[in-house]
Chain A
Amino acid sequence: MITIFSAKKIRTMNPSNPEATHIAVRDGSILGVGSLDEVSGWGEYQLDDTFADKVIVPGFVEAHAHVMAGGMMMLPYLGYFDRPRADGTTAKGIKSYDQLIEMLKAEDERLEDPNEQIVAVGFDPIYFADQPRLTCHHLDQVSNTRPIYLHHASGHLATVNTPMLKVNNITRELRVEGLGRDAEGELDGELREPPAMTLCKSGYNVFQFTNSTEQALRDFAALARNAGITTCTDLAGSAILAPKLYDMTTRVTSEAAFPMRLVQYNIPAMPGKAADFSEIAERVVELRRNNSDKFRSPGIKFVLDGSIQGFSALIKEPGYFSGEDHGQLLAVPEQLKDWLLPFHKAGLNIHMHCNGNKTQDLALETIEAILCEAPRPDHRHTITHAQLTTQAQLRKMAKLGLCANFFANHIWFWGDQHYDITVGPERANQIEPCASAIREGISFSIHSDAGVTPLGSLHTMWCAVNRTTPSGRILGELEKISAAEALKAVTIGAAYQMHLDDEIGSLEAGKKADFAILDDDPLTVDPMAIRDIGVWGTVLGGKRFKAANR
């Protein structure tokens, strides 16, 4: 059965055949892209005019996200910015403590069981820097009987109310350093870092558990579909550390109604910890053998440092602009080559989380050493986040054949903080250097790191194109890229760094019939309107998947 989809315009991202009006599909694959006349010669077909007034682009490929993006949005959301939920509604951003209390009060009233705790996510104190810290006293205004646990966006902090302290027997006598206290030494409900957060077992466990549920995976896929994403990574997969989740993922992704291709890059061991990496590489090769249409395991992910806004990324001199340097390297430099080599030799694709550019120096040195020892053309290993990549690093990455995956969403979500607090004006203006990557001929993608920021390739494109911050600042005019370049980054650029560019990422004969269905053309709208373009949904393997709000 052949279906021909018509559209107002089709942007193929195939430079040799960039625009079309019709696309013929058979058995989930593309037969031809062109005019109706050009694509109708394959035999009897059904014309599908559903998208006659829409713009079709290749299904977006999100190259850095996590299933927890689905899990966290199953919980009450207290982030600063609006964020979509899987059902198509929007969770409103919280701009003040009053709003936060109001929002939690509504949740308190909604719950019937007076003892049921509230576990909420997304709160980030960096946006309330001019206010006193959020404490149990704020949360006690919501309820002084119902336990409440707020998991902060960073994952390193939580704020809880007095009942939550009580049910977990957390008292002022406990000496864990991460317990926040007031001037009199009384607990103020802030829990810093896991040794303190895990004292509050009931709250912490709910957060962890929610992220590993089947519903989290389903909601993750729904969020992707709603944003036009047809292939999405789970870039800290747990198939090695928690094999049971892998079986669940295999089952769920094999369902015909599952609306997304999931590409999993697993974490080989707890970050920073040595392990038998040769054995793990064999295991990943085995996982790769099980690749199915909608579930792939093409490589491995190494987390090499922390985050810039958490001051735990390892950054080069002159270091952090303000704030204390908590740079945390999560690899032993002398061992990193031996850690990576088994994966490289097994033909696997390595994605290295480097938020700080000093960490990135180590990654580049190590990859160079690996390539000298075991030359491998076309490895496409990728530095992911790569936020503070310097010009020298870009030149080296080009020579080493490395790809970049820039965290473009940071420009919007933390751009002002990077300018004012973390790295200062010059380096903030060069953060996520997409234009420089193009100048150096480096293949790159841009990402959301969902749930750190929301899934949404149009938003991520918008960030890279406009480089605008919430305060209205333009963060580095000379690193802006065109909408076409940004679209490339979230389609074929992302597919390339996962070695999937012969299957997905552009609309060409023989490739998967994966489309994002847009209300408007991202290449011709006002660049500032790119993120506002409506998404009808997707076509995945020739099947229509309508967004939840359509």
Chain B
Amino acid sequence: MIRFTVIGGYLGAGKTTLLNRILTKEKGVRYALLINDFGEINIDAKLIESQTDSQINLTNGCVCCTLVDGFHDAIDQLCHLQPPPEHIIVEASGVADVSNLAQYGYAPNLALDGVLVLADAETVREKADDKYVATTVRRQLAAADIIILNKTDLVSEETLGKRIDWLTTTFPGATLINTEFGEVPTSLLFDVHAAMKPDDLHQADHEHYVTWKFELSQPTTREALEGFISQLPTTVIRAKGFAGQVSGSDLLVQVVGKRREIREVEGNQTGILITAIGLESQLDCSILDDLRERVFGT
């Protein structure tokens, strides 16, 4: 299964900055990026292995493509690259309906990881009432599993507080990350493997996040697990884990912002192992401890 992420956000929200960071910083994961326009990204020439009109192959194993035909054809082509990518990241156009695009991630060979929507702290409130793009901007934010409130350095603390209040009340449930210059640990946003093995995270990113772990030697029930993940605070950016059931197959837990899934998988877990991560500045681990105790009594 190839993981699939959609990055949305209105003009100026910082999608390009984030894409550049993915392409240039990540090592080890073969990302395939489907972006709007080569003109907007800025890839170091030394990183370019080969290039055609619609595809750039990077020395770090990543591939970057632009959309020339429909999304379906483009995604299909990416899936058939040799070697196949591990994770497809689609940049939505500034006015795209990201929830519709995300549906491609439910195709049989893909696994939808999440929908990330960037918002420009300076302009998002105004755009959300704009004559032309109000519904577009609101629809994008409503579809987000994680909202990245970017360019927070450009607004006063008071304004920032207002933006956060507005976003959390208007689009409840989504995880909200505040950042400047799109500086979110990209491995946290995209790389589920790295996120589960914190030591693999880049040193620079390392400072920003905190990991919370929960291990239990007894099996559980689906109901208990559902109760647990549905009550996770929105400051959890990602969580992943496995659990054995008292009866029945094992359960896989995946959380990306407000996207929370439990799936039955094959395995022979006897207990529970769940890891959650969030930003150090936002995630209060004692809330998770309390939740664990309430749900699992330990």
List chain A positions with a Cβ less than 8 A from chain B: 169, 174-178, 193-196, 198-199, 204, 241-242, 270, 272-276, 314, 325, 327-335, 358-359, 361-362
Q: How far is the CA of A273 from the CA of B65 in the complex (A)?
A: 14
Tell me whether B67 and A276 are in contact (CB under 8 A).
Answer: no
Partner of B36, one of A273, A358, A361: A273
B260 to chain A minimum Cβ distance, whole angstroms, is 14
Given contact pairs A195-B71, A359-B132, enumerate 4 new A-B contacts (beta carbons under 8 Å). Answer: A169-B108, A270-B67, A276-B37, A335-B11
> Complex formed: what's the CA distance from A193 to B102 in Å?
12
Structural contact, A274 and B108, CB atoms closer than 8 A: no
Interface bracket on B: 20 to 34
| B 81-124 to A, binary, CB cutoff 8 A, 1 in contact else 0 | 00000000000011111011101101110001000000000000
Q: Which residues of B contact A331 (CB under 8 A)?
A: 95
Q: List 27 A-B contacts (CB under 8 A).
A: A169-B108, A174-B108, A175-B106, A175-B112, A193-B100, A193-B103, A194-B72, A195-B71, A195-B100, A198-B70, A198-B72, A198-B104, A241-B69, A272-B94, A272-B96, A273-B93, A274-B36, A274-B94, A276-B39, A325-B135, A329-B133, A332-B11, A332-B93, A332-B133, A358-B131, A361-B131, A361-B132
B40 within 8 A of A: yes
Is B155 on the interface with A (CB-CB < 8 A)?
Answer: no
Output the least CB separation between A306 and chain B (Å): 10
* Min CB gap B103→A, angstroms: 3
> Is B1 an interface residue when CB atoms closer than 8 A count as contact?
no
Question: Closest CB of chain B to A128's CB: distance in Å?
Answer: 25
Q: Could you tell me the distance between the alpha carbons of A179 and B131 in the complex, rounded to whole angstroms?
A: 32
* Of listed B37, B72, B103, B108, residue having the most chain A CB within 10 A: B103
Residue contact A196 to B37, C-beta cutoff 8 Å: no
Q: How far is the CA of A335 from the CA of B10 in the complex (A)?
A: 12
Residue numbers of B with Cβ under 8 A of A are 10-11, 36-37, 39-40, 67-72, 93-97, 99-101, 103-104, 106-108, 112, 130-133, 135-136
Note all chain B residues with C-beta closer than 8 A to A328.
95, 97, 136
A361 to chain B, nearest CB (A): 8
Of B39, B40, B95, the residue contacting A330 (CB under 8 A) is B95
Tell me if B107 and A176 are in contact (CB < 8 A). Answer: yes
- What residues of A have a CB within 8 angstroms of the CB of B103 in the complex? 176-178, 193, 195-196
Which residues of chain A are within 8 angstroms of B94 by Cβ–Cβ distance? Answer: 272, 274, 332, 335
Chain B residues in 8 Å Cβ range of A176: 103, 106-107
Q: How far is the CB of B291 from chain A (nearest CB, A)?
A: 27
Query: Which residue, A242, A314, A334, A358, has most C-beta atoms of chain B within 10 A?
Result: A334
Closest to A276 in B: B39
Q: CA A412 – CA B110 in complex, angstroms?
A: 44
A329 in contact with B136 (CB, 8 Å) = yes
| A357 CB, min distance to chain B CBs, angstroms | 12
Give chain B residues whose Cβ lies under 8 Å from the Cβ of A193: 100, 103
Roughly how many angstroms separate A413 CA and B37 CA in the complex, as a whole number?
39
Q: Which among A195, A204, A272, A361 is the interface contact of B104 at CB below 8 angstroms?
A: A195
Cβ-defined contact, B135 with A327, below 8 A? yes
Check if B95 sits within 8 Å of A272, measured CB to CB: yes
Among candidates B37, B72, B96, B108, residue contacting A275 with C-beta atoms closer than 8 Å = B37
Bound CA span A503–B99, Å: 48
Residues of B with C-beta under 8 A to A175: 106, 112
CB neighbours (8 Å) of B71 from chain A are 194-195
**Chain B nearest CB, measured from A211 CB (Å):** 13
Bound Cα distance from A470 to B68, whole angstroms: 40
